[in-house]
Amino acid sequence: MTWILLSVMVLATALSDILQSYEMKRAGAQSVGARGLARLLRMIVERRYLLLSILCLAFSFFSFMALVQTAPLSFAVPASAASFILETLLAKVLLHERIGARRAGGTLLVLAGVLLLGK
Amino acid sequence: MPISNRILRTYLWLLLFLALRAGGNLALAWGTKHLPERLAANPLVYVRSLLDPFVGFGVVLLIVALLARLALLSVADLSFILPMTAIGYVLAALLGKVFLHEAVSAQRWFAVLLIFAGAALVSSTPQSTTAKPEKSK
């Protein structure tokens, strides 16, 4: 059950992140402060991809709730980083972000740590 | 927006996001572990669990964390944000050990160190490679 919950969570998280990043990049830089937050809230309602990303996030979140109920916090949270490589790949392919050698190396280190945590 | 302003703004959102998420996760873990029933496929159980004060508080913190993260995504690349938020995994291990009395093995701490090193390496790369001229559309 732990692994089913984790898989649902990882897939939903990756999809949600890609949708969010895509839509927010189109929206432009946001300001810090109460007005910035209000604008963010309105934007969520107005933009389709953001709504979809929040639906994915809900799936991911409820899986996380069930996971953290039985698994230790020090396992559940790091294990959620399994979405990492999938997201970085999608960021490169779909969002055309450039992944440099340093960034790729750092990402791999993080992944190695996450794999070790799950053992 | 000048470059230094953009960097300051990015790290401000990052700090806020990390604190909110770590606190939210801890409250959620504490709350769900003390629920009278197991969370399963039944959606009603999840809705009921939200009425638990700790679970509810955790959810509120995580929602505000999500808003901070949306703002963060507007000023920095996803592939920069993801590794930086790996710091949150270290926080989770710490909070789990201190507040939930979880046994964190030497191997798990080593893994946490690897994650930290990776995050530090990535933090020295540019935050946005796809930045467009500074004008909201």
Q: Which residues contact B6 (CB under 8 A, 6 or more apart)?
A: A29, B75, B127, B128
B137 domain-assigned: no
CB nearest A77 (choices: B66, B92, B125): B92
B133 domain-assigned: no
**Shortest Cα distance from B114 to chain A (angstroms)?**
5
pLDDT at residue number A34: 66
Count of CB contacts below 8 A, A vs B? 204
Domain with B93, as residue range(s), is 3-123
Contact present, B46 and B76 (Cβ < 8 Å): no
Query: Of B17, B20, B61, B70, which to mutate for an interface test with A (greatest number of A Cβ within 10 Å)?
Result: B70
The phi, psi pair for A111, rounded to 5°, reads -65, -45
For residue A63, pLDDT over 70 is answered with yes
CA distance B69 to B55: 21
CA distance B38 to A106: 38
Contact A78 B115 (CB under 8 A): yes
- What's the pLDDT tens digit per position in B71-103? 888 888 777 776 677 788 788 889 999 999 999
Domain count, chain B: 1
B3: amino acid identity, one letter: I
Is the ipTM, as predicted for this complex, more than 0.85? no
Alpha helices in A1-100 (DSSP H): 2-27, 34-46, 48-70, 73-79, 83-93
Q: At what angle do helices A2-27 and A83-93 cross, to 10 degrees?
A: 30
Element containing residue B89 per DSSP (H, E):
helix B87-99
Q: At what angle do helices B3-33 and A48-70 cross, to 10 degrees?
A: 40
Percent of chain A with pLDDT over 70: 90
Q: Which pTM was predicted?
A: 0.71
B130 domain-assigned: no
pLDDT at residue number A31: 61
Q: Which residues contact B93 (CB under 8 A, 6 or more apart)?
A: A73, A74, A77, A78, B104, B108, B109, B112
B128 domain-assigned: no
B129 domain-assigned: no
B131 domain-assigned: no
- What's the pLDDT tens digit per position in B8-49? 888 888 999 999 999 999 999 999 999 888 887 777 888 888
